[in-house]
Structure 1
Amino acid sequence: MPIRSPRGRVAAYRALWQWPLRSPARLAVSGVAALAVVLGISTALTAINPPEPAPAGVTTTGTNATAPGSTRSTRAPGTPVPTALPPVSELAPTSLPVSSAPAAALQAAASWSAAWIRPPDGTPADRWIEGLRPFTTEEYLGVLATVDPGAVPATVVTGPARAVRVAASSVDVEVPTDALTLLVLVVRTEAGDWRVSGYDRAA
């Protein structure tokens, strides 16, 4: 039969909450039941709103997150950040005074030019090449092998060899002839001697 009066409802509520206090066994049963209700509500809320997963590749530890590829400074606090580059030593000059030209380089240019001038008519080309070989790099001999010695315009050297540009391992040398002034490039080989590796008409 339902309880209709306020006094009757108050008495029923009092009896309900006093029930666990009447014995230790009832109190323990009530505590277990209350804990089960709380856990059930928590599980239901988690199933309804699951936590979002962390992005792939991100590791979380406490409140810190580290993304892949990120770097963390290991500089100790208070360490000054360098703002100036270290001094750079001066580079060696690419050109040297012409007075420093090695005598062996000038001699190689003069000897090559004397062998380069047009030989007497009927001289075989291979003999002309053999005359140039002692003063020419092996690579440049292949180029000279395509030259017709009968087409060389000069017939005699008319003056001394003169350096016009000097570097650590090469010298540009001018050699005058009766037809033109040669600009001869002399280089130092791995063996340490000086040989011609090219020539042109001087400006």
Structure 2
Amino acid sequence: MPIRSPRGRAAAYRAVWQWPLRSPARLAVTAVAVLAVVLGVSTALGAVNPPDPAAPGGVTATGTTSTTGGTRATRAPSSPVPTALPPVSELAPTTLPVSSAPAAALQAAASWSAAWIRPPDGTPADRWIEGLRPFTTEEYLGVLATVDPGAVPATVVTGPARAVRVATSSVDVEVPTDALTLLVLVVRTENGDWRVSGYDRAA
């Protein structure tokens, strides 16, 4: 028969929680039952969310961090950063004294300028190029092949070659002519020779 009054329900609840207290045996049985229920719930939760062994740092799917042997894994200390910088070798200067210009570079500029001046009328362009070849880089010969030697304004070199800027592997040389002063760029090639790789009108 169902309990319909509040007093009856209270009496029924009181009888239930007083039942384990009426004897030591009932209390032991109740404790075992409660422990079994708790263990069952814990086992069920572990089956639903198993730990991920591949997660870094032992992090499980529930967001907790696992430990080994009761200690938390720690990151190894990084190596100390050295405070002393390694020695740096001295850099070679980009420009050198003009007096240090190699004689071979000045001679190459002078010889090239003498071959560059306007040849006699009717001289084939390929012959003019061949006269420049011994003193010119192969790359720059391709540029000079497009020049009309009959349009060269100068007809004679009027003074010695003079270095105006000297670097480790290049020299700027001025060479005066009867029409303009040439600014000739002479470079050192891989085999150590000095060849002209460009020219312009000096300022």
Structure 1 and Structure 2 fold alike (TM over 0.5): yes
Higher mean Cα deviation, 10-19 or 40-49?
Answer: 10-19
Over 3 Å counting, the alpha-carbon distance change for 1:150 and 1:10 in structure 2 is: closer
So what's the TM-score if we normalise by structure 1?
Answer: 0.68
Over 3 Å counting, the alpha-carbon distance change for 1:86 and 1:14 in structure 2 is: same
Deviations 1:124-183 (A, max 9, x none): 000000000000000000000000000000000000000000000000000000000000
Q: Is the 2:58–2:66 contact (alpha carbons within 8 Å) kept by the matching residues of 1?
A: no
Higher mean Cα deviation, 28-37 or 176-185?
Answer: 28-37
Q: Is the 2:51–2:59 contact (alpha carbons within 8 Å) kept by the matching residues of 1?
A: no
| Equivalenced residues, count | 201
Report the CA distance between 1:39 and its aligned residue. Answer: 4.0
Q: Does 1:60 align with 2:84?
A: no
Over 3 Å counting, the alpha-carbon distance change for 1:145 and 1:13 in structure 2 is: closer
Over 3 Å counting, the alpha-carbon distance change for 1:73 and 1:164 in structure 2 is: farther
Equivalent residue runs for 1:67-86 within 5 Å: 85-86=85-86
Q: CA RMSD in A?
A: 6.8
Higher mean Cα deviation, 17-26 or 150-159?
Answer: 17-26
So what's the TM-score if we normalise by structure 2?
Answer: 0.68
**Overall identity of the aligned pairs, in %:** 90
> 1-side partners of 2:45 and 2:74: how far apart?
43
Deviations 1:56-85 (A, max 9, x none): 99679998799xx99999999899765564
Where structure 1 has 5 or more consecutive residues not aligned to the other structure, the ranges are: none
